[in-house]
């Protein structure tokens, strides 16, 4: 008689079969096999002296009845049954439902009694009772529960060597969540139908909170009043021979000027290195230019000002890698990077997990196993060298308020064997998995390797510039009088303007070496500027500068942006609402 291993999906079963011999038969439940009834509440509520018992009335899912019958027959003919469902609440609940429906035993009378008749400790508000199903046919001599966080040969063998019993507390947690979801949805949804008249609408324990966040954000946007302000960038160059003629920048033609970064250096028409500096202060006050008139006054002054470097600060700055992915950060990053929905991310991650390419993808922990850390540190040392390898492993604090620390972060199950590194920086995996899986795998692979590499080091330069203006330098006496007599004008007899320019150059790429080739994405998986325009020319305090051009920009304060899938997931996680496994279906329900 063989050993029967039961998992959720055929793909997972197929991957497991690669590592196990003929002594094992692996079958899939095709997902959940039992749930609350679809068309009624399905929860018996009993009140006992101000205390409540909530008794779920489970039914076999109609589409799974044939599968349950088949599994019962297979269990009868097996020497043992091994429940190998996923290592989370849902997986534990599926294992418990299999145990109940197939009327299995652990071979331990005391343990069997505990599993079948587990009574929760009383609490002032609720109690969940499990159905007690009696056995009436041949049972295998033992039932084991095994868990693993990655589908690899070593992980499976370790799990088989360390079986455990069904974790009733984890089952209780899943049932409590399921009952709460049903009570909230079943009771509140009809109120929506009656109020709005649309029967396809629904309410939910987490879903309704997410909708409220969206509504509150929309109200913020509707009530927002934009405020005008102006930014002024001045193009300057070192004072060399052949000072070019000053350009006539003004607010009147500001709309024709492209918005410019205040830091990049560039070459002017005489091949001299120029750069942009942004106006920060007028005299001793912040440059708060609230309208065109105020901006015009500053522009006219800055056209005729004398510019001098007042201070140069050069320091090293370190950019650290991001932690390995959790479910929510993977969903956010893939949404921002590829424009994917959370549902698409989870579907693709599920495929990668079941193929044995990544660890379990429903997690809110940034922990890594000692084996994984040793594996990636060896890879970094062999491929990139000791300069890229920290003296000690990096550990990251999990931010989630309700994280299950026993789980690992999402990472590849192997580093060098599965993916052949190419000069382009891209990684190729089996064509049968598909493009989505390849893109997501690369994202996970890079984040995992980067999180254990040394930080990138940049030389940051900040230049403070003083622009002095005297009345005698104004282009017209009439204009000077008009500006001087304006009540909103800054004092302009010997006005001083203070500008700032910033630049940086990379001294050591560190973990960024993974992203500077190929896709060119940084730790937040956004575009990285790999050019040298961020580097400023060599400047010294006291050095005079030449004016080249001026770029005034009209701006308006902006309301908070509408939630995207990525930002909504982030908000829910920060507020401790929902679980990694719930974000995708919740957002999908809201959108549908």
- Would you please indicate which residues are annotated as catalytic (active-site) residues? 360
Q: Can you read off the two tokens belonging to residue 193?
A: 């139908």
The DSSP symbol for 471 reads G
273 vs 266: CA distance, rounded Å: 6
Of the CA atoms within 13 Å of residue 465, those in its CB half-sphere come to 30
Q: Compute φ and ψ for 473, nearest 5 degrees.
A: -90, -5
53 vs 62: CA distance, rounded Å: 27
How distant, in Å, are the alpha carbons of 70, 229, 442 from that of 64?
A: 10, 63, 36
DSSP characters for 81-135? EEE---SSHHHHHHHHHHHHHTT---S-HHHHHHHHS-BPPP-SS--BB---PPP
Of the CA atoms within 13 Å of residue 309, those in its CB half-sphere come to 24
Q: Compute φ and ψ for 123, nearest 5 degrees.
A: -135, 165
Contact 517, 226 (CB under 8 A): no
Q: Can you read off the two tokens belonging to residue 534?
A: 């961020």
Centre a 10 Å sphere on the Cβ of residue 317 and count the other Cβ atoms it contains.
12
Q: Compute φ and ψ for 582, nearest 5 degrees.
A: -95, -20
Of the CA atoms within 13 Å of residue 373, those in its CB half-sphere come to 15
455 vs 509: CA distance, rounded Å: 8
DSSP characters for 563-575? PPHHHHHHHHHHT
How distant, in Å, are the alpha carbons of 234, 367, 455, 519, 591 from that of 522?
A: 29, 21, 12, 9, 30
Alpha helix positions (H), 223-365: 292-303, 327-338, 342-354
How, if at all, do strands 59-60 and 420-421 pair?
unpaired
């Amino acid at each position: 008689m063989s050993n029967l291993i039961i998992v959720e999906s055929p793909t997972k079963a197929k991957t497991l079969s690669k590592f196990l011999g003929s002594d094992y038969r692996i079958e899939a439940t095709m997902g959940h096999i039992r749930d609350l009834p679809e068309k009624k509440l399905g929860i018996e509520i009993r009140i006992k002296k101000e205390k409540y018992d909530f008794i779920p009335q489970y039914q076999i899912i109609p589409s799974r009845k044939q599968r349950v019958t088949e599994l019962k027959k297979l269990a009868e003919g097996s020497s043992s049954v091994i429940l190998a469902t996923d290592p989370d609440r849902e997986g534990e609940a599926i294992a418990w439902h299999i145990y109940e429906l197939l009327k299995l035993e652990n071979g331990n009378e005391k343990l069997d009694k505990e599993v079948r008749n587990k009574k929760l400790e009383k609490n002032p508000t609720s109690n969940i009772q499990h159905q007690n199903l009696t056995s009436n046919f041949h049972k295998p001599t033992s039932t084991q529960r095994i868990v693993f966080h990655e589908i690899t040969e070593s992980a499976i063998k370790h799990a088989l060597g360390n079986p455990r019993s069904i974790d009733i507390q984890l089952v209780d947690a899943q049932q409590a969540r399921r009952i709460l979801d049903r009570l909230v949805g079943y009771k509140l949804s009809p109120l929506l139908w009656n109020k709005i008249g649309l029967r396809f609408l629904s309410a939910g324990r987490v879903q309704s909170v997410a909708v409220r966040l969206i509504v509150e954000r929309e109200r913020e946007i509707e009530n927002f009043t934009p405020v005008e302000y102006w930014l002024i960038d001045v193009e300057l160059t070192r004072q060399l021979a052949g000072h070019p003629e000053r350009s006539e920048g003004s607010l009147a033609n500001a709309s024709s000027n492209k918005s410019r970064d205040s830091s990049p250096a560039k070459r002017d028409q005489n091949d001299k290195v120029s750069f942009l500096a942004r106006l920060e202060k007028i005299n001793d006050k912040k440059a708060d230019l609230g309208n065109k008139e105020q901006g015009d006054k500053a522009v006219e002054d800055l056209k005729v000002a004398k510019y001098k470097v007042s201070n140069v600060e050069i320091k090293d700055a370190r950019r650290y890698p991001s932690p390995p992915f959790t479910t929510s950060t993977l969903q956010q990053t893939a949404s921002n990077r590829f424009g994917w929905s959370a549902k698409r991310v989870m579907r693709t991650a599920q495929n990668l997990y079941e193929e044995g390419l990544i660890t379990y993808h429903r997690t809110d922990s940034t922990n890594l196993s000692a084996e994984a850390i040793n594996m990636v540190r060896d890879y970094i040392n062999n491929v990139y060298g000791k300069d890229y390898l920290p003296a000690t492993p990096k550990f990251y604090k999990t931010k989630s308020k309700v994280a299950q620390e026993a789980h690992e972060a999402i990472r590849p199950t192997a580093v060098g064997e599965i993916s052949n590194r190419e000069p382009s920086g891209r990684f190729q995996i089996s064509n049968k998995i598909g493009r989505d899986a390849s893109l997501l795998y690369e994202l996970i692979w890079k984040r995992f390797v980067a999180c254990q590499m040394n930080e990138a080091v940049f030389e940051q330069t900040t230049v403070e510039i003083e622009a002095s203006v005297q009345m005698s330098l104004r282009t017209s006496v009439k204009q000077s009088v008009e500006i001087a007599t304006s009540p909103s004008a800054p004092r302009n007899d010997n006005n001083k303007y203070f500008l700032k320019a910033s630049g940086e150059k990379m001294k050591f790429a560190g973990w960024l070496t993974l992203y500077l080739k190929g896709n060119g994405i940084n730790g937040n998986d956004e575009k990285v500027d790999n050019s040298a325009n961020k580097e400023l020319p060599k400047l010294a305090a006291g050095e005079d500068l030449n004016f080249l051009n001026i770029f005034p920009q009209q701006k308006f304060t902006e309301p908070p942006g509408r939630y995207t899938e990525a930002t909504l997931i982030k908000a829910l996680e920060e507020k401790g609402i929902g679980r990694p496994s719930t974000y995708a279906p919740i957002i999908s329900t809201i959108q549908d």
